[in-house]
Amino acid sequence: MRRALAFVLLATAGAAAAQSLGDTTSNGSPGAATTSGEQTYREICQACHMAEAQGGTGPGAAPALAANPRLGDPDYVLTRILRGRAGMPAFAELLTAEQTADVANYVRTHFGNAYSTPITTADVKRLAPPPES
Amino acid sequence: MIEFEQPSRRELLTAIGKAGGAVALYQAMTALGHAAPTQFAGPPKLSGARPGASVVVLGSGLAGMVAALELQKAGYKVQILEFQDRPGGRNYTVRGGDVIKETDGTVQKVQFAPGNYLNPGPWRIPFHHQALLHYCSELGVALEPFVQINLNGYIHSDKAYGGVPQRIAEVGVDYKGHVAELLAKAVNKGALDDTVTAEDKARLLEAMRGWGLLDKNMAYTTSLQTSAQRGYDRPPGGGVNGAPTPSQIASLSDTLDPRVWGTVSGFFSRTMQQTMFQPVGGVDMIGKAFARKLAGLIRLNARVTKIAQDDAGVTVDYVDTVTGKASVAKASYCVCTIPLPLLSQIEVQVSAPKQAAIKSLPYHSSCKVGLEMKRRFWEQDEAIFGGHSFTTQPIGEVGYPSTGFFKPGPAVLLGAYAGGANAYTFAAMTPAQRIETALKQGSVFHKQYRQEFSNGVAVAWTKLPWITSCASTWSEDLRREHYQNLVSVDGRIVLAGEHCSYIGAWMEASLLSAIDAITRLHQRALAA
């Protein structure tokens, strides 16, 4: 149902956003194309976490992902990406399970992080929030 | 059947209204599904604040300013702390000469001609957002129609019509025509015999014929009849060559693309129905009108760093972002409208459940690109006056100005309204790349783009240091766990803003949330 919802949101972007979003457009095709973890990082995460994952500055700054020991816990990383928290947006409905796993693996193995145990799409599905009815 | 139900409902409501007054009537109407979505029942009538009682309001968006205005009327001493160098918050308009600073230091200087503007955030007001309409009226904010539905705009899908944009009227008429034909076929084959009575079958067929413009064989076909709705190849004229020629209908398959049917059905969304309004001259006329009423009470460039409370009152630490000077504001109570992405990174002395709510509610983002064109080619060349063209591309849509029709000289198009994942891909680009992307993708609709483009501005909400996002993203799951904890009065502190509502990112949400919050805070203050 969640994918179906995202589909409808895509279809009605700009004309009818979901009640929970209000007058903000929802166009954004989830999983429109397969992208590498690096591509997803460059095209999405980098806007806040910055090019070298050094984090932002200012009152609402995103934290550094570079050399971040918290990334050692796969469930921590996935939960943050899927559900968001404290300024981090929720990407459960914006990225496919593959994209989510790929980008999580990318940040866990770059920017001074070397956590080699791979995250799988099964991990993503296990931690994804319940679908909207 | 509906026609027979309505009078009886009306009679019932009249009876309830007479017996129980307006509130009972409103509740009954809501139960029966007749009321407008707003819960506005007039401005709050608060009075009798205790002598010396004061309120510090954090944030001068619409929520903060309506709270300040009404609390002041009730007798409270009010002060407002605002992080930015202007009041208004997301009630925001950019014009020529304005500077937009992003979190990484990127600066854009808006180059629009005098009179032109872009509303990067809220831009339109549904007719049933009665709280906002009330305050616009009370504060003297002039409104004009916002053209939401224009069937002469285009729809573009990369998966339909060979990627060639079609007029919304054409695809909308084809969609209902094909669906009507199919339904009529199903009825005539007896496929609906177990659900539709014989009498209603006849009526349904007649309805499908009229609604879908079906011919005598119950088929949707190319004809002058269908062209009267979808448009002609050669429109009716006068004199010798006055006879029209019909336009060719398109296939059922193309209309089943979600971008196509979704756009058509989206016009029926309660918040997208006509009549919609916009403030004349830019949406920030609303914030400016509030700010005029609160002259002298708003301290700008004040970055809140800590919010504490005890038996005596509330203490708010803040830093002047220009001078770096640290100060403390004290008050009996606090209305905090700071968006949660920022509030979640500030020390706030509230209960653990409220802290959890503040940290758990994610926000989404969006990006709007304003393109100033040298002339109104969409009006002059394509007869598009307001409304939108929609696309499956990341820009989402092109929005046409609802004001200044027929004027010579430059005008500003909404060149992109990117949401979802696209909001972040736009944010990750430089402003010049965002504008180039908008020009490239918008050219699918208008070949005049490159020749007529003058300058542009691209506002990616993710990159705005005073909010770093657009608006809250509630799910049913989050509501169950956190909503009541977020909106509850916690000692001397209450939160307000669109995030404390069931409405989402509409200006009405900020007002209704704030009115409810200060009403409860006032009750708490009187009971103390």
Instruction: Return the CATH number at B193.
Output: 1.20.1440.240
Cα–Cα dist B37/B127, whole Å: 11
- CB spacing of A87 vs B468 below 8 angstroms: yes
Is B153 inside a domain boundary? Answer: no
* Residues of A in Cβ contact (< 8 Å) with B475: 20, 129, 132
- CB spacing of A13 vs B468 below 8 angstroms: no
List C-alpha distances in Å: B415 to B35, B155, B369, B505. Answer: 35, 15, 5, 21
Domain boundaries, chain A: 1-30, 37-127
Residue B178 sits in the same domain as residue B191: yes
C-alpha angle B44-B45-B49 in degrees, rounded to nearest 5: 110
Q: Which residue type sits at B186?
A: A
Q: Is the model's pLDDT at B35 over the cut of 70?
A: no
Residue B480 sits in the same domain as residue B348: yes
Average pLDDT over chain B, rounded to whole?
A: 93
CA distance A25 to chain B (A): 5
Is B289 inside a domain boundary? Answer: no
Residue B329 sits in the same domain as residue B302: yes
Q: Is the model's pLDDT at A5 over the cut of 60?
A: no
Is B494 inside a domain boundary? Answer: yes
pLDDT interval class at B2 (50, 70, 90) = very low
Residue B73 sits in the same domain as residue B113: no
Most B CBs within 10 A among A2, A10, A23, hence the mutation to make, goes to A23
Report chain B's C-alpha Rg in angstroms.
27
Is the CATH number of domain A37-127 1.25.40.10? no
Q: Is the model's pLDDT at B29 over the cut of 60?
A: no
Q: Does residue B226 contact residue B211 with C-beta atoms inside 8 Å?
A: no
Task: Give me the pLDDT at residue A57, please.
Answer: 87
Is B24 inside a domain boundary? Answer: yes
pLDDT interval class at A21 (50, 70, 90) = confident
Is B155 inside a domain boundary? Answer: no
Beta strands in B47-191, from DSSP E residues, in sequence order: 54-58, 77-81, 94-95, 99-101, 107-109, 117-118, 125-126, 143-146, 154-156, 166-167
How many structural domains comprise chain B? 4
Residue B177 sits in the same domain as residue B206: yes
Q: Is the model's pLDDT at B7 over the cut of 60?
A: no
Task: Give me the pLDDT at residue A96, please.
Answer: 94
Model confidence over B429-468: pLDDT tens digits? 999 999 999 999 999 999 999 999 999 999 999 999 999 9
CA distance B268 to chain A (A): 8
Task: Give me the pLDDT at residue B528, please.
Answer: 84
Please give the share of chain B, as a percent, with pLDDT higher than 70.
93
Is B135 inside a domain boundary? Answer: no
Q: Is the model's pLDDT at B520 over the cut of 80?
A: yes
Q: What average pLDDT does range B387-408 have in this prediction? A: 97
Task: Give me the pLDDT at residue A59, please.
Answer: 84
Q: List all residues of chain B from 40 to 99 with a beta carbon under 8 Å from chain A.
A: 83
Range of the domain at B342: 54-88+296-361+474-527
Model confidence over A88-108: pLDDT tens digits? 999 999 999 999 999 999 999
pLDDT interval class at A33 (50, 70, 90) = low
Bridge partner residues of B315 (DSSP): B308, B330
Residue B77 sits in the same domain as residue B101: no
Residue B488 sits in the same domain as residue B339: yes
Of B262, B417, B460, the CB nearest to A12: B262
* Residues of A in Cβ contact (< 8 Å) with B343: none
Is B285 inside a domain boundary? Answer: no
Residue B77 sits in the same domain as residue B9: no
Q: Is the model's pLDDT at B266 over the cut of 80?
A: yes
Sign of CA dihedral B206, B208, B209, B211: positive
Task: Give me the pLDDT at residue B388, please.
Answer: 98
- CB spacing of B474 vs A20 below 8 angstroms: yes
Model confidence over B355-381: pLDDT tens digits? 999 999 999 999 999 999 999 999 999
Cα–Cα dist B528/B518, whole Å: 15
Q: Which of B51, B79, B48, B49 is nearest to B65 (CA)?
A: B79
Is B238 inside a domain boundary? Answer: yes
CA distance B240 to chain A (A): 42
Q: List all residues of chain A from 35 to 64 with a beta carbon under 8 Å from chain B.
A: 42-48, 50, 56-62
Residue B228: is it exposed, middle or buried by C-beta count within 10 angstroms (0-12/13-18/19+)? middle
